Chains A and B, each alone.
Chain A
Amino acid sequence: MSAAVEAFLARLYTDAALREAFIASPGDVARREGFAGEEAAALESTDLVGLKLAAESYGRKRERRSRK
């Protein structure tokens, strides 16, 4: 199931609306995305400050690359 978590993380890093919804209610969004059991619980305890900082950093990288 790590493959599904990786794909979900990639969306969280790049989709601001999904990320905002997740930060507001991680467990609800994780379950809505089809995660259950241990993975849903793990996603519910995501480091939300780190998630936001990482997503901002990746966004700046994409922006710089698109300007090149």
Chain B
Amino acid sequence: MMADRVGLGWRGELAASILERLVAIDVLEVIAEDWTRAPREEQRALAALGRERPLLLHGVAMGLASCHRVDPRRLDDMARLVEVVRPELWSEHLAFVRAGGVEIGHLAAPPRTAASVDGTLENLRRAARVVGALPLLENIATLVDPPASTLDEPAWTRAIVAGSGSPMLLDLHNLYANAVNFGHDPMAMLRAMPLESVRLVHLSGGRWLTPHGVAPRLLDDHLNDVPDPVYGLLAALAARAQGELTVILERDGNYPAIGHLVAQLDRARRALAEGRARALGRAA
């Protein structure tokens, strides 16, 4: 029996509710940049929370997937936070967030090329040297198919995961959004990802944008509930994954009552159990 875990992203707005329902939450994920410049006593309080539930640190602003060198100050910040908080692991996105002195302000998909694979691998080596461990790598959602790409997303992701040895954080809503936005079958895209490396999973929701005269596109906004097809992807992943999975529900606003979020955690547990049962059925 796989000891899969299901948890929630820690947000200040949800703190009291999370502590009230901690029994329903196996693990907590914390946005690293919310804490890197926090006073040391607050970082120690976070470390204390880590004695209640396993803590995962999630970076959102490093910009590791780039031909440009990662900012060493950001690596130092992460290293100091890891030293104080002692998380179970840390993760970052396969994204660039700045280039040529310009801050984009969010996660952007770089051109998927051999050059960006090489740049990312170099940045990951730097990150591992400074922080002391490789991050888990998360696929991002994008509204624009990155121009000048020569590799598709699964092939580009596989090259980086294989080249770095980093485990993968597979965001299933990001995968779903990219598939539906660019005309791919979500299940086929899931199967093309390096599933043998997936240890951590993100679930979230989004909303449809309806630009004039063209097909709608799905924006991953973390403000809405997890849509049904994403639970289907989770069950399919659990049926294929070799190791134990940790699933994190992300919500960044438009917060519902905690019971509503806990119900989504329960649904994720059912999807995991369904996938594991399917795998056992195949093995029998």
Contact = CB atoms under 8 A, between A and B. Distances in A.
Contacts of A49: 211, 214, 217
A21 to B, nearest CB: 16
B162 interface: no
B113 A2 contact: yes
User: Is chain A's interface secondary structure helix, strand, loop, or mixed overall?
Assistant: helix
Contact of A5 (B102, B148, B217, B219): B148
Interface size bucket, B side? 20 to 34
A52 B214 CA distance: 13
A57 B148 contact: no
Contacts of B116: 2, 6
B142 interface: yes
Given A14-B104, A54-B142, A57-B106, A6 B66 contact: yes
Contacts of A3: 67-68, 99, 115, 119
B25 to A, nearest CB: 26
A57 B100 CA distance: 20
Contacts of B146: 9
Given A2-B110, A13-B104, A53 B144 contact: yes
Interface of A: 1-3, 5-11, 13-14, 38-39, 42-43, 45-47, 49-54, 57-59, 61-62, 65
14 contacts: A2-B115, A6-B67, A6-B111, A7-B102, A9-B99, A10-B96, A38-B148, A45-B147, A49-B211, A49-B217, A50-B145, A53-B209, A57-B219, A61-B105
